[in-house]
Structure 1
Amino acid sequence: MGVSSWRRLLHCWLAIPLLLIACVGCTPFDETDSNTLTAIMVLDMAGLGDKGFNDAGWAGMQLAVDSLGVDARLIQSSEQSDYVPNLALAAQQADVVVAMGFLLSEAVAAVASQHPDTRFVFVDGEVPGQNIASFDFRAQEGGFLAGILAAGVTETGSVGCVMGMDIPPVRAYETGFRAGIKLYNASQGADVQYSSMVIGDFNDPARGKSQALSLIAQGCDVVLQLAGNSGLGVIEAFKDGPPGRWAIGADLDQDDLAPGRVLTSILKRIDVAVFEAIRQIHEGRFQSGHHWLGLMESATDLTEMRHTADSVPPEVLTLLDRCRVIIQRGGTIPFHPSELATFDPALFLK
């Protein structure tokens, strides 16, 4: 899914930044029916086309168009200084502003307080406010399952991770992944090693590929990408590689990006969170506050591994199913690296 899938409506100057606004099923702002709910999504610099986080959010907007008749629009940020003016423009024009990603948190806090009659939906973190509904994901749960899987299939005994930026939502994923490796090692008497690299950018696929190749050179035959658009480069590094080396995707189902070379993808149902938030507002049931979604809410899990399931040992699949049940019954997975030392795999192996 790329930016070209939506036509450009207009370019607006606000101070210095050039703002691109696109829409699905909508009319110009001044011609919109006053009875139609208008929702504008504001993206960070990575934008659409990441086949992950941002595309998942926009899919939720599209579902709101198809199911609820919402007028959905999009504002793309070119640089960090765009966040406040882009959100302010959206707040002036929309009933609902959907802010995508942790990097927009400070800008949402600043703008939402100036527009108390506009509803804000913030995805991937918490921003307090009476007109803000924040949606957070227990991404560590999906990461945990992916860690067990990676440790269970590695032939080199070494797995890795490429992160876009060192921010809490990414670290939650990564911490869960490491906890899964720890559990696998404890359950099998194994010693699978872990390495990681941070790009510092969610929008640099070339560097993502370079870091993945570096981890492969260090012996990692399974690498998790947690890097947004940069993560497409991680998958590219495995696309033409030999059998037995796998990338793991994140956020959306990325298994088809390199069939047989993407072991699985960690699903993060951002689309569901965005759609449900808009639906509640559409029905007059807006709920501010901090909303958590995880495996219990079917908001995270692994894909069915349609290209690779035959390569996974049956005992690993059994262990995954067992851990799913324990999590759904209240088992907790560490979400911060500081909690890894005290994480006791025995609680999942009784």
Structure 2
Amino acid sequence: MDAVRRPAKVRLAWLLVTLLVLAAIVVASVMIGSRAVTLDEVLAALGGSTDGLGEAAVTKRLWRTALALLVGAALGVAGTVLQGVTRNPLADPGILGVTMGASLAVVIGIAWFGLWTYTGYIWAAIAGAAATSIFVYVIGSLGPGGATPLKLTLAGAATTAAASSFISAIVLPRGDIAGGVRSWQIGGVGGATPEAISQVLPFLVVGGLICLLAARPLNSLALGDDLAAGLGEHVAATRAIAALGAVLLCGAATAVAGPVAFVGLIVPHICRLLVGVDHRWLLPFSALTGAALVTASDVLGRVIARPGEVDVGIITAFVGAPLLIAIVRRRKVREL
């Protein structure tokens, strides 16, 4: 079937399947861990009880699951928007350096300005993500041809490497913050708290709404700048607004969960296979699929290392790295 167009019935069928899979993953996330819990303990925790060990475990996992859903949805939508803005199938908050820029800003805030609040983390991460996005786009626009996908990818990779080196240089002499920063840099949702979710939720809502409002203009951009302008779109403004939404989502998600890699790369490609390239469908599906991917990765990390756990960032890297290689090889074959 054509990857560009999908009948409405097919899209609705995939929507139902995605929602059912997501519901099953949420149930598994609540019930699976170092200590298995029963359905009675889940119902007791939902009723407000935190007296028993099972109820306490369920309550903690509920907040953890909520954060995984939010982070996954945010990164999935951010990756889809960045790929639409740059028309680059390899665009991803991690590959383009946005995530590492947000991480560097948070580390600088912790090491030099004493940031220890979620609000401070979020604002620092958003500022770092925005500055890095602008820097990568400017560098990638230099030379003939403007901001081509290859130049943006190379500029993002170089920026990621530089930001990572700066983080190491800042953290290594600071034994008082090294342990916490290194753990956070892996990317995970194990530290989920009601405070973290309440602080990050407004930023995710605003960023998500901006991205959804940019869905139709992103469809025009996919036709090329000249055709988009001919259809009445303000190309530069559309790119700036859509990128702003992606930066808010990526920065806020990174602030509370660390730099979770490859989610923004994997999710858009999966969703295009299922529902096509119309961003009015693609963005909501990216949110659901990203939420499912991060939550499932969190569950898998608890299962394979029980009674310990493997952080989400490690699991998504194992899944995303082979996909990145496959995408590059596929594009190379097409160009031959």
Q: TM (normalized to structure 2)?
A: 0.31
Q: Which has the higher strand share?
A: 1
Q: Which has the higher contact order (CA 8 A, sep 6+)?
A: 2
Q: TM (normalized to structure 1)?
A: 0.31
